């Protein structure tokens, strides 16, 4: 039997880590089984629907780099994959249940239901949900009233029995039907289906074999199992994924930091890092191995590798992954990825200004200088400002090596000037060799010799590697910056 699973988001918000984790695990499971991964839009809640969230969904997954085999944009044998285009189907299935006696018409008005809630609250009653008032109206009478009165259709939960299913992760789950949401609405008075009806009908019609979804849906599953039985269908296998928590043990939310895929993208995360890290939220693969590409994950994923315990989202660990993936990028690709951040930050003269061909070349050539230290793509332009604009000359004290003085800084900078003139034409190893020789000759530590030179050229005591910077700035510019510094240093 071919495995078919799905990601079924409701487009009522931006794609976030929880959704990504569900989508990714479904994708990995389907791929690991040579099955099909399906996208279905559950847009039945028209009041909270906004097309920007659908756009955000497509843009997020385009960026993340994995896709579904069937879905609204690519079609497939079970189309349409958008619930708002399937309303007729749900209506028909709700009526099937009426005919089978597994559902009933309910004529309770919203006012009555509000009054019921208020009454219970006043009496401090723990009863919740519908009181099943319309459950016993004889079918012929109800059908006649339905022709002229507004109504909903409710599921008739079989009382006095239990519903049992085997969760692939949690094992046997048993619910007393009397504790399940009492006779939930399947079809609303405006003819729209509720989540429960549409979800079950679609999973059946789309041939879904496995439902991997967040644990917050576990409480709905007995109801879904009851619905499958009422229709006379086999239920798919369920696997409720462990919760994703913040480090304080509370469900991951905005309070903990970025949660939407968009925020991570804007911050300068690479999709490979996010996918790699999220694939580990609630699953472990190989002892000691942390870096996994998408194909490696597809090859290794299995439900046995899921953990029952909640997963903790560690922003620092995600940053570590990002730094690793930045390092692994070929320079040309990294430059292309970091370029938009550079343009936006004004690296090339003004915010939003594109680089000239010369600036573009320098930017690309600078990647080896920064890739070892950048955590975010946005760090890259931040570290390279001195290559594109003259940094202000720092205060004299900045030029002074540790335990030294201004006079010595001035002397070292003059030596540094000669060194830079030569180093600009050399590769890093040869430049370093020349620097070491100069330091030895002068009887100073290499670091001390380079401090005033670094400050003069980059405007800071901490900078990307100096010899690479000298090469990229070129002899003329280096000498001009050093001269400018020499002028400002009291001598």
Q: How many CB atoms neighbour CB 436 within 10 A?
A: 12
What mask, x for binding ligand GLU by CB under 6 A, covers residues 208 to 237? Answer: -----x---x--------------------
Residue 301 phi/psi, 5-degree rounding, is -65, 135
- The reply on whether position 42 binds ligand GLU by CB under 6 A is yes
**Pick from 33, 56, 163, 199: which binds ligand GLU (CB under 6 A)?**
199
Residue with Cβ nearer ligand GLU (10 or 345): 10
Are 15 and 262 in contact by the 8 Å Cβ rule? The answer is yes
Q: CB under 8 Å to 230, separation ≥6 — which residues?
A: 97, 100, 102, 103, 155
Q: How many CB atoms neighbour CB 165 within 10 A?
A: 17
Nearest approach, Cβ of 44 to ligand GLU (angstroms)?
A: 9
Nearest approach, Cβ of 130 to ligand GLU (angstroms)?
A: 22
Asked if 91 is an active-site residue, the reply is no
Instruction: Give a three-class secondary structure readout of 345-388.
Output: HCCCCCCCCCCCHHHHHHHHHCHHHHCCCCCCCCHHHHHCHHHH
Q: Where are the alpha helices (DSSP H) in 131-259?
A: 139-146, 195-205, 221-231
- Quote the tokens at residue 143: 């059908």
The structure tokens 């099909």 sit at 36
Residue with Cβ nearer ligand GLU (58 or 388): 58
Q: Give me the catalytic one of 100, 251, 254, 308.
A: 254
Give the range of 6-14, 351-359, 373-381, 461-469 binding ligand GLU by CB under 6 A: 6-14
Residue with Cβ nearer ligand GLU (117 or 188): 188
Nearest approach, Cβ of 472 to ligand GLU (angstroms)?
A: 50
Nearest approach, Cβ of 239 to ligand GLU (angstroms)?
A: 11
Residue 240, helix vs strand vs coil: strand
Q: How many CB atoms neighbour CB 150 within 10 A?
A: 11
Nearest approach, Cβ of 103 to ligand GLU (angstroms)?
A: 20
Give the range of 2-10, 67-75, 327-335, 377-385 binding ligand GLU by CB under 6 A: 2-10
Cα Rg for the chain, rounded, in angstroms? 32
Residues 466 to 485: which contact ligand GLU by CB under 6 A? Answer: none
312 strand-pairing partners: 245
How many residues at the interface with ligand GLU, by CB under 6 A?
A: 7
The structure tokens 């200088």 sit at 369
Give the range of 8-16, 47-55, 354-362, 449-457 binding ligand GLU by CB under 6 A: 8-16
Using CB under 6 A as the criterion, which residues of the chain lie in contact with ligand GLU when the complex forms? 8-10, 42, 199, 213, 217
């Amino acid at each position: 039997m071919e495995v078919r699973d799905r990601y079924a988001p409701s487009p009522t918000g931006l794609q976030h880590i929880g959704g990504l984790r569900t989508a990714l695990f479904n994708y990995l499971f389907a791929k690991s089984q040579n099955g099909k991964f399906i996208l279905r839009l559950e847009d039945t809640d028209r009041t909270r629907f906004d097309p920007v969230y659908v756009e955000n969904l497509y843009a997020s997954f385009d960026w993340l780099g994995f896709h579904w085999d069937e879905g609204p944009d690519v079609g497939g044998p079970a189309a349409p994959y958008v619930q708002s285009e399937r309303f007729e189907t749900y209506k028909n299935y709700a009526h099937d249940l009426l005919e089978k006696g597994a559902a009933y018409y309910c004529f309770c008005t919203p006012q009555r239901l509000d009054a019921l809630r208020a009454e219970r609250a006043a009496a401090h009653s723990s009863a919740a949900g519908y009181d099943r008032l319309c459950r016993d109206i004889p079918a012929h009478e109800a059908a006649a009233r339905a022709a002229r009165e507004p109504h909903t259709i409710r599921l008739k939960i079989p009382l006095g029995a239990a519903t049992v299913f085997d969760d692939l992760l949690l094992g046997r789950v048993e619910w007393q039907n009397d504790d399940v949401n009492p006779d939930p609405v399947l079809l609303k008075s405006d003819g729209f289906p509720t989540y429960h009806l549409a979800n079950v009908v679609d999973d059946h019609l789309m041939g879904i074999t496995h439902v991997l979804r967040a644990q917050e849906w576990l409480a709905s599953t007995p109801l879904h199992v009851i619905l499958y039985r009422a229709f006379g269908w086999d239920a798919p296998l369920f696997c409720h994924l462990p919760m994703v928590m913040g480090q304080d043990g509370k469900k991951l939310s905005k309070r903990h930091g970025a949660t939407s895929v968009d925020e991570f993208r804007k911050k300068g995360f690479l999709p490979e890092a996010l996918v790699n890290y999220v694939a580990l939220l609630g699953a472990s693969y190989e002892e000691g191995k942390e870096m996994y590409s998408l194909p490696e994950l597809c090859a290794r994923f299995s439900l046995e590798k899921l953990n029952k315990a909640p997963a903790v989202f560690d922003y620092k660990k995600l940053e570590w992954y990002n730094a690793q993936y930045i390092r692994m990028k070929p320079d040309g690709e990294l430059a292309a990825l970091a370029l938009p951040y550079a343009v936006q930050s004004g690296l090339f003269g003004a915010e939003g200004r594109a680089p000239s061909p010369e600036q573009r070349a320098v930017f690309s050539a600078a990647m080896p200088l920064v890739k070892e230290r950048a955590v975010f793509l946005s760090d890259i332009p931040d570290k390279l400002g001195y290559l594109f604009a003259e940094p202000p000359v720092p205060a004299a004290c900045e030029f002074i090596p540790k335990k030294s003085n201004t006079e010595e800084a001035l002397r070292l900078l003059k030596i540094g000037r000669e060194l830079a003139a030569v180093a600009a034409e050399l590769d890093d190893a040869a430049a370093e060799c020349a620097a070491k020789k100069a330091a030895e000759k002068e009887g100073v530590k290499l670091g001390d010799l380079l401090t005033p030179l670094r400050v003069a050229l980059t405007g800071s005591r901490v900078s990307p590697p100096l010899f690479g910077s000298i090469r990229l700035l070129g002899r003329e510019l280096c000498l001009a910056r050093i001269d400018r510094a020499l002028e400002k240093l009291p001598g």
